[in-house]
Amino acid sequence: MTTCDLLIEGAWVLTCNPAMEVIPGGWVAVQAGRVLALGRPGKERPREAAERIDAAGAILLPGLVNAHTHLPMTLFRGLADDLPLERWLNDFIFPAERLILDPETVHAAALLALAELALSGTTTCCDGYFYADAVAEAVLASGLRAVVGQGVIDFPAPGVPDPSQNLAAAEAFCDRWEGRSPRVRPSVFCHAPYTCSEKTLAGAKRLCAARGLLFQTHAAETHREREECLARHGLTPIGLLERAGVLDERSLLHHAVWADGSDLEILARRGSAVSHNPESNLKLAAGIAPLPEMLSRRIPVGLGTDGSASNNDLDLFGAMDLAAKVHKAARLDPTAVSAAEILRLATRQGARAIGMGAEIGAIEPGKQADLVLLETRAPHLTPLHDPVSAVVYAARGADVRTVIVGGRRVVENGRVLSFDPAPAAARVEEAAARLRRLLAPPAPGPA
Amino acid sequence: MTTCDLLIEGAWVLTCNPAMEVIPGGWVAVQAGRVLALGRPGKERPREAAERIDAAGAILLPGLVNAHTHLPMTLFRGLADDLPLERWLNDFIFPAERLILDPETVHAAALLALAELALSGTTTCCDGYFYADAVAEAVLASGLRAVVGQGVIDFPAPGVPDPSQNLAAAEAFCDRWEGRSPRVRPSVFCHAPYTCSEKTLAGAKRLCAARGLLFQTHAAETHREREECLARHGLTPIGLLERAGVLDERSLLHHAVWADGSDLEILARRGSAVSHNPESNLKLAAGIAPLPEMLSRRIPVGLGTDGSASNNDLDLFGAMDLAAKVHKAARLDPTAVSAAEILRLATRQGARAIGMGAEIGAIEPGKQADLVLLETRAPHLTPLHDPVSAVVYAARGADVRTVIVGGRRVVENGRVLSFDPAPAAARVEEAAARLRRLLAPPAPGPA
């Protein structure tokens, strides 16, 4: 260990290893895209490095893992807020999806979303949407990593007008993307147990299981979903998913806000994972998920933002802040969940939840060199009594100075280096303006 | 109206006038530190301006009003999180205040906090702490505005070792600062009905009333406070404040998380105001305040961050985001409170709550030219379907490009122009390091 490609020195290193060790003034050596070694100031380090970063006073953490996104929904950010869920979906989101989506627009919106992720320190996301090929191409072009799920729903959908072809479309997508790039992992994303039949769910899971891919679905997001599922099937949404045979350690359920004790027992027994999306759950009035109970049952939980239409941003720092706070108030217990626990969800636990725990989510020898350097010389991060507290409770995406994915610089000083987001932004603005015209009520006559 | 000092053109102008009018591509003219006029693109504007700002595509809003701060507690940001309230106060905050506070340190910490406020678009705050002279001097030096409350408590306190002198100290502070600067308004801040006797509360209110100053106190922050007050006095904390005769339209109660229907009736009848501090209430596990009920009773409510020790930042954009979301989930109702309503709290309603409604809180002719220009050309603010939604749900303090107070440029492109925060930051870091050593358990022997 005498040389390396990159040596980062002098940072607070938040390793996010199993002990969540923090190394003050530590160094990290990168070689061939992976973490070669790391250590305390005194520990012997590579003598030569092709490149060095002086990170004195900064915080180095693993690239954040966003466990639940719908990247192209960036198109609908702020289009309609503060509405009842049914009006939001039926009067805005569903018509908007019918009116405006095509592969090129989805590609542009996904690329813009990936720029937002990169600039705010997220290096991997777990996505699900329609036109998943366009999303996967955007990920490939962006330099980031993602699990990309092809959406499956038992209704006519963007890109899949005939629902009888939804599994075939998902299979074809997986065929095209399996093994194509180490940065893109295909997946199948069933919309929900109330929009997919048990047969569809089981078929999607079989498709995933045969290839070792992640199966995703929304589940138990709202109280109404739970009540209707109980009335229709005599089972909770998670009970129904178990009966459909789709729950194992390669299944990821998004939200699980209304999971009760037996539901959590099922998830713990099956080894299935959950994404926790507190900003979306609050904004859409879904409720507050039982995160402390999930953690005490050792269910793998990742942290997510959900899509920009229901958040309205993809900054995982905001999600960390909220996740660390909201459960304290909901239980009147300031020890309900700690800042370090939330940082773990946003890194190593999130990586595990999306099936990438062996590769990413921590700064450990052999793992991918997905690294984020946070600037701390700012009033809102001064003084720095505790770097974990600073990351969770005070830092924001805008504090990110450098982002590295697989050893490659993706962001530096607020600028994306791995691609140019401007053409994507222009195309999204144009599509958004067109969408507003299409959705607008007919103009009244002259006043 | 042919000339003016400054003309800002082309912005989305969020006036925060009574109708919360938004002017696309509007202009605002500033003369002698105040708003001279504003209008739509076609409306006649001053022909000459000493200075022009091209704000095409940006969002212009009134300087935000933070209705509850303890500026010097920036010293304790991240010192101790996720602890039961009693341990947090008794093992960390109270000892820290005894060990480290002096007027110079309070001045530096307040100045650093004011830099954080300015950089994140807040131009006025309503503060309360000990050594209020040092805080007021910092406000004067910063270029921002503040209501500065001298803390009053019936225990030995920093700067007021003899509690029998607490009202005399507050009176002397008010004497020194009344009329000294249009940017600093003195106030008296009684800590709480459980740490101040009714006699102290009444004396503090008399002192304020005689001078037309704002009276402040924490009230009904925790369930325990409410239960103990009921057990001791047979009255709720707000009932006790009414009996003490301290509630009128120049009284501001911080938190009121545990205000019940009768408490809210009292506040509505008396015309007293409330600061809503959802980030602090969540982090300290106080609970979720009944904001929708306060608003439906037309109680003037401002939005606050509370001190950095319990938040852990002073960015009011984060507080807006949370305030717009948390009540939706708590009531499972996405219409519980709208983005526009929350923007109103952070601007004109906050100004009214702290007794400055005639001067600030909106972009209206005659009001102070306290203005914030937000950059919107960033992935996380694209597309811009709705500027109010963008401000509340997606923008962050870091998006602030320009801050103007009374017509004077205070922040430009992430840099404070009105003072240099670096010496204050250095002094705070030094004090923080000293504090960590003083609070640290004795070092163990050699391992």
- pLDDT of res. A447: 42
CB atoms within 10 A of CB A222: 21
| Contact partners, residue A360, CB within 8 Å, separation at least 6 | A62, A63, A65, A123, A124, A145, A351, A367, A368, A370
**Cβ-Cβ contacts under 8 Å, A399 against chain B:** 398
Strand order in the sheet with B64-69: B64-69, B122-129, B145-152, B184-190, B214-219, B251-255, B273-276, B301-303
- Cβ contacts (< 8 Å) between B78 and chain A: which residues? 383-386, 389-390, 393-394
Structure tokens at B34: 């105040």
Cβ burial, residue B443 (10 Å; 0-12/13-18/19+): exposed
Domains located in chain A, CATH noted: 3-62+362-416 (2.30.40.10), 64-353 (3.20.20.140)
Q: What is the pLDDT of residue B231?
A: 98
pLDDT at site B308: 96
Rounded to the nearest integer, the mean pLDDT of chain B is 96
Predicted confidence (pLDDT) per residue in A367-398, tens digit: 999 999 999 999 999 999 999 999 999 999 99
pLDDT value of position A87: 87
Q: What is the pLDDT of residue A1?
A: 63
Weakest mean pLDDT among A154-168, B84-98, B159-173 = B84-98
User: B385–A328: do the CB atoms touch at under 8 Å?
Assistant: no
C-alpha distances out from residue B178 to A306, B185, B213, B250, B355, Å = 50, 7, 9, 16, 15
pLDDT at residue A2, rounded to an integer = 81
Tokens of B126: 């309503």
Amino acid at A227: E
Q: What is the pLDDT of residues B191-233, one digit of tens each?
A: 999 999 999 999 999 999 999 999 999 999 999 999 999 999 9
Q: A-B interface: how many C-beta pairs under 8 angstroms? A: 220
CA distance, residue B418 to nearest chain A CA (Å): 15
User: Distance (Å) from the C-alpha of residue A210 to the closest C-alpha of chain B?
Assistant: 38
User: In chain A, what residues touch B77 (CB-CB under 8 Å)?
Assistant: 382-383, 385, 394
**Closest residue to A78, CB basis, from B315, B325, B393:** B393
Mean pLDDT calculated for residue range B294-298: 98
Q: What is the pLDDT along chain A (447 residues), one digit of tens a residue?
A: 689 999 999 999 999 999 999 999 999 999 999 999 999 998 899 999 999 999 999 999 999 999 999 999 999 999 999 998 788 888 999 899 999 999 999 999 999 999 999 999 999 999 999 999 999 999 999 999 999 999 999 999 999 999 999 999 999 999 999 999 999 999 999 999 999 999 999 999 999 999 999 999 999 999 999 999 999 999 999 999 999 999 999 999 999 999 999 999 999 999 999 999 999 999 999 999 999 999 999 999 999 999 999 999 999 999 999 999 999 999 999 999 999 999 999 999 999 999 999 999 999 999 999 999 999 999 999 999 999 999 999 999 999 999 999 999 999 999 999 999 999 999 999 999 999 999 887 666 554
From the list A398, A350, A373, the residue with the least C-alpha distance to A59 is A373
Q: With beta carbons under 8 A apart, name residues in chain B contacting A324.
A: 82, 283
Residue A339 has a pLDDT of 98
Nearest neighbour of B389 by CB, restricted to A78, A112, A284: A78
With a CB cutoff of 8 Å and minimum separation 6, the contacts of A10 are A25, A26, A27, A54, A55, A56, A57, A58
Contact partners, residue A33, CB within 8 Å, separation at least 6: A368, A369, A406, A407, A408
A380–B119 C-beta distance less than 8 A: yes
Using one digit for the tens of pLDDT, what is the confidence trace for B364-407?
A: 999 999 999 999 999 999 999 999 999 999 999 999 999 999 99
8 A C-beta contact, residue A156 and residue A137: no
Nearest-CB residue to B380 (from A315, A337, A338)? A315
pLDDT of residue A442: 63
CB distance B336–A285 less than 8 Å? yes
pLDDT digits (tens, 9 = 90+) for B29-48: 999 999 999 999 988 999 99
ω before B312 within 30° of 0 (cis)? yes
Report the pLDDT value the prediction gives residue B444, as an integer from 0 to 100.
61
Q: Do B334 and A283 touch (CB under 8 A)?
A: yes
